[in-house]
Structure 1
Amino acid sequence: MLLRAAQAQTGPAQTFSPSYVRELARALAAKSFAPPDEKLPDALKDLNYDQYRSIRFAPEKALWRDEKLPFEVQFFHRGFFYKNRVDIFQVANRSVIPIPYRRDDFSFGEGLGQWPKADIGFAGFRIHAPMNRPDYHDEVCVFLGASYFRAIAKGQTYGLSARGLAIDTGEGKGEEFPVFKAFWLEKPVPNASSIVVHALLDSKSAAASYRFTIRPGQSTVFDVEMALYPRVDIEHAGLAPMTSMFFFGPNDRKDFDDFRPAVHDSDGLAIFNGRSEQLWRPLNNPHDLQVSSFADVNPGGFGLMQRERNFLAYQDLESNFEKRPSLWCEPIGNWGEGAVKLFEIPTKEEVHDNIVAFWQPKQPLIAKSEHIFTYRLHWGPDAPKPGALARFTRTGIGSRGDDSKLFVLELMGDELKAIDAKTVKGVVTAEKAEIKNIVTQPNPMTGGWRLSFQCSVKGQAAIELRAFLAQNEAPVSEVWTYRWTP
């Protein structure tokens, strides 16, 4: 009702303050949850994919285009999967100005019926800025569907997504999907290098406010300030959730007859934990749901990464997987005890996002209280501070008879180029499985190193593996972790 009142106002504009959306979220959490408004005109209720795709926003009607500002905003129509009404406001000179839906701002494909020119709100929006060249506004990020958003950096194409909040992911009672129900877009000043977006989130279990400061560039950075107000105790909350796709790769090709060597938006989960370890967990498309938990205290960062940047690794002229962004979360402040959670969901089609990662606090988020989290999201080619240790760049797995698997791991790093090969060894351990034939050697074809070993798999349902390179017992590489499943 607060949002409807703001949109319907005919008197003086409301005054926007730094706590404006936070106060709305706090007030919203004190009330019973009201499901999102999905009411649509009959002509829009049952659109198929092609019909929805035919609805286009007119670029010349973009917000701020006529003012020649460094950022422009275009809007998404409601329909198809995107039935929830989203209210969007502009903030200019501290005044809150509703942005009304106007049917004439869109073009429509043939076969769509007519409906009244009432204000039906939007499904979401996208932000454009001159990222690749100064005379053209490129699409930088999109907020569309539930609490999903995604972004790209210079020279990249869209891949994985982020979310505002995950609740009960992987739990038997079913996942809860919070939604962004309103946004406030701060009007940028001329020559601005960033834009600020505020969002109001709502769900059955909680309400929350967000402040996104978005800076496009070689890496596109989101500074995120989140204030969460649970209606009930939340035991399984996912903070800074990321959603991606891993169909197959050199570590997991056994079920795929495809001309391409690999198909994925992300190839691994990277973690800089609070113990100063750097972990690398290659992704998998398992036969059964796999849930991995990396317990930690005050993590340094985590992210779903696309390390393989060579077109020849994919051979896909249309999808350009080598141009998909990595997404790195950098917590700001102390996040306490918890775990980075990884969910690998079986899929038989590449159109499905089957990978989820987030931070889960150890303690439940208590109802009727305020929980503040601040973090930075980096969308780009790599983590912002890759570190000095050598990194695993490829995981290959093949059979050695019926009872054994050969693992071939490739590493790259400046530290390895001048190292004495006689002083380096591979350290490999496995839970309840035999490891043999560990070989560590320079790879003259890549300028890096190769670590290979065999692992017995007979009768095993799952095997946890861990490996790294060491010199004089000290690690010279990050730690490779992997869960092998049949």
Structure 2
Amino acid sequence: MDRRTLIKTFVSLAGAQALPLSALIYSGSSVAGEVGEPKPFSYAWLKGHARALAGEPWVSHEGELPGSLKDLSWDDYQAIGFRAEEALWRNDDNAFQVQLFHLGLYFKTPVRIHEVEDGEARELAYKPEYFRYEGEQPLGTLPEDLGYAGFRVHFHTDYERDLAAFLGASYFRAVGSEMQYGLSARGLAIDTALESGEEFPQFSAFWLEKPKPGSQNMVVYALLDSPSTTGAYAFTLTPGRNMVMSVDAALYPRKPIQRVGIAPLTSMYQTGENDRRMAYDWRPEIHDSDGLSILNGQGEWLWRPLVNPRSLRVNTFVDNSPRGFGLLQRDRRFANYQDDGVFYEKRPSAWVTPHDDWGKGSVMLVEIPTKDETFDNIVAFWHPEKPLEPGQEHLYSYTLSWGAESPVEPEELAT
């Protein structure tokens, strides 16, 4: 996915100020719909639902949008902005608030978003008055069951800036103390860098658990779906100097998967100190991450500087029971980037720490040639040696830490 598309989307939706969307797409004053009926919810139920769904054929919902949203121009989509006063939990004694992303343009697959409170879930109905719109193209009458594209999370220390966002396929990202987006993570990677083509699983539904008063944690549940697998996810978000996500994933393959990527990270590297091939403007370095760091099962540290290769490059670091890996942005000097628009020196690193024994497998690093900074060309993930068998449950849990500070510091880096 185009990383700059996501960044521009976040920025533009945060700043949109215009008329309520309902005033432009409805001739009357009707409201799109109330919150759905409550239904019992638990993570155990979600895992059971994902397991049952894996026994059914995959159904694509991409493109199930009115033509007016499918055909939006970039400028018109940027003109749709969520109204901050409509944020979920804004009027509650709560440290978190949630804003929603509108469907359209690149985001064509409806996502169902629910609020969970006291063990009951209610789907958030689409309401046009949640949004402002100042675009030129009329949107027409949008259905009450339209759904959303995703959501972003704000924290009480700064309700104006994002803490995390889930938007597009199974992509999500977060910030550390610098409050700066950079690389992304995904729920799952399938067949990355294979000739058969990569498959991009979709978070098709989310359940947002309302935090208790005084709580500094927020829990997000997600249903993953794709032609090859389903999955149930639980994310516990804990803000701090580093944003820490505790991730639990239960996977239920529909069919054999040739190359599965657990805890995948996605970043961009165009040019830097060790690779000047694409250095064609005034900026000395252009990258979100500058290297892959691994703490292997033997307690050895590995550091692999990133490059922008001339052709597709895949490196495999065989391991047993890895202790952690991540894509890091170690260079924090502005002078080495000289870009006061995107501030690469403030981009977060992301570090994965398994909670249990992941057994034999490998950390895989994929580097794809790129001519510019608008393309995510770096992928890193854990690839288990034993294939994920269809018809079985496969459990993975890990911590994902976002920020300028590494959660673990090596005494000496291997080169």
TM-score by length of 1: 0.77
2:145 is the counterpart of 1:122: no
Q: How far apart are 1:95 and its partner, in Å?
A: 1.0
2:414 is the counterpart of 1:479: yes
Tell me what 1:47 maps to: 72
- Sort the Cα spacing of 1:11 and 1:194 in 2 relative to 1 into closer, same or farther, 3 A: closer
**Uncovered stretches (5+) of structure 2, i.e. residues with no partner:** 1-32
Tell me what 1:138 maps to: 161
Q: How far apart are 1:220 and its partner, in Å?
A: 0.2
Secondary structure of the 1:214 match is strand
- Sort the Cα spacing of 1:152 and 1:9 in 2 relative to 1 into closer, same or farther, 3 A: closer
Structure having greater relative contact order (Cα 8 Å, sep ≥ 6): 2
Indicate conservation of the 8 Å contact 2:321/2:357, yes or no.
Answer: yes
Indicate conservation of the 8 Å contact 1:289/1:343, yes or no.
Answer: yes
Q: Larger radius of gyration, structure 1 or 2?
A: 1
2:389 is the counterpart of 1:366: yes
Aligned-partner residue type, residue 46 of structure 1: D
Cα distance in 2, alignment partners of residues 262 and 353 from structure 1: 16
Q: How far apart are 1:282 and its partner, in Å?
A: 0.4
2:289 is the counterpart of 1:262: no
Tell me what 1:460 maps to: none
Tell me what 2:135 maps to: 110
**Uncovered stretches (5+) of structure 1, i.e. residues with no partner:** 1-7, 390-476, 481-486
Tell me what 1:95 maps to: 120
Indicate conservation of the 8 Å contact 1:307/1:382, yes or no.
Answer: no
Tell me what 2:312 maps to: 289
Q: How far apart are 1:111 and its partner, in Å?
A: 1.1
Indicate conservation of the 8 Å contact 2:37/2:123, yes or no.
Answer: no
Superposition RMSD in Å: 1.5
Tell me what 1:349 maps to: 372
Aligned-partner residue type, residue 116 of structure 1: T
Cα distance in 2, alignment partners of residues 18 and 251 from structure 1: 46
Q: How far apart are 1:37 and its partner, in Å?
A: 4.3
- Sort the Cα spacing of 1:245 and 1:255 in 2 relative to 1 into closer, same or farther, 3 A: closer
Tell me what 1:251 maps to: 274
Secondary structure of the 1:360 match is strand
2:197 is the counterpart of 1:174: yes
Cα distance in 2, alignment partners of residues 50 and 318 from structure 1: 20
Could you tell which deviates more after superposition, 46-55 or 365-374? 46-55
Secondary structure of the 2:139 match is coil
Indicate conservation of the 8 Å contact 2:191/2:260, yes or no.
Answer: yes
- Sort the Cα spacing of 1:149 and 1:255 in 2 relative to 1 into closer, same or farther, 3 A: closer
2:408 is the counterpart of 1:382: no
Q: How far apart are 1:9 and its partner, in Å?
A: 11
CA deviation string 1:388-432 (max 9, x = no partner) = x2xxxxxxxxxxxxxxxxxxxxxxxxxxxxxxxxxxxxxxxxxxx
Tell me what 1:57 maps to: 82
Secondary structure of the 1:143 match is strand
Q: How far apart are 1:109 and its partner, in Å?
A: 2.1
Cα distance in 2, alignment partners of residues 254 and 14 from structure 1: 56
Indicate conservation of the 8 Å contact 1:304/1:357, yes or no.
Answer: yes
Q: How far apart are 1:94 and its partner, in Å?
A: 1.0
2:250 is the counterpart of 1:227: yes
Tell me what 1:29 maps to: 54
Indicate conservation of the 8 Å contact 2:43/2:234, yes or no.
Answer: no
Cα distance in 2, alignment partners of residues 62 and 12 from structure 1: 20
Determine what percentage of the aligned residue pairs are the same residue. 47
- Sort the Cα spacing of 1:255 and 1:16 in 2 relative to 1 into closer, same or farther, 3 A: closer
Could you tell which deviates more after superposition, 375-384 or 12-21? 12-21
Q: How far apart are 1:117 and its partner, in Å?
A: 4.1
4+ runs deviating over 3 angstroms: 8-12
Indicate conservation of the 8 Å contact 2:233/2:248, yes or no.
Answer: yes
Cα distance in 2, alignment partners of residues 82 and 255 from structure 1: 30
Cα distance in 1, alignment partners of residues 86 and 260 from structure 2: 39
Q: How far apart are 1:258 and its partner, in Å?
A: 1.4
Cα distance in 1, alignment partners of residues 373 and 103 from structure 2: 25
Number of aligned pairs?
382
Secondary structure of the 2:91 match is helix
- For 1:194, which of 217, 220, 238 is the aligned residue? 217
Indicate conservation of the 8 Å contact 1:228/1:371, yes or no.
Answer: yes
Q: How far apart are 1:42 and its partner, in Å?
A: 1.9
Secondary structure of the 2:53 match is helix
Secondary structure of the 1:138 match is coil
Q: How far apart are 1:36 and its partner, in Å?
A: 2.2
Q: How far apart are 1:50 and its partner, in Å?
A: 1.7
Secondary structure of the 2:163 match is strand
Tell me what 1:332 maps to: 355
Q: How far apart are 1:139 and its partner, in Å?
A: 1.2
Indicate conservation of the 8 Å contact 1:331/1:374, yes or no.
Answer: yes
Secondary structure of the 1:66 match is coil
TM-score by length of 2: 0.90
2:272 is the counterpart of 1:272: no
Aligned-partner residue type, residue 154 of structure 2: H
Could you tell which deviates more after superposition, 271-280 or 47-56? 47-56
Secondary structure of the 2:309 match is coil
- Sort the Cα spacing of 1:266 and 1:11 in 2 relative to 1 into closer, same or farther, 3 A: closer
Indicate conservation of the 8 Å contact 1:252/1:285, yes or no.
Answer: yes
- Sort the Cα spacing of 1:129 and 1:11 in 2 relative to 1 into closer, same or farther, 3 A: closer
Indicate conservation of the 8 Å contact 1:336/1:361, yes or no.
Answer: yes
- Sort the Cα spacing of 1:58 and 1:478 in 2 relative to 1 into closer, same or farther, 3 A: same
Cα distance in 1, alignment partners of residues 381 and 40 from structure 2: 35
Secondary structure of the 2:43 match is coil
CA deviation string 1:268-289 (max 9, x = no partner) = 0000001111011000001111
Cα distance in 1, alignment partners of residues 248 and 126 from structure 2: 28
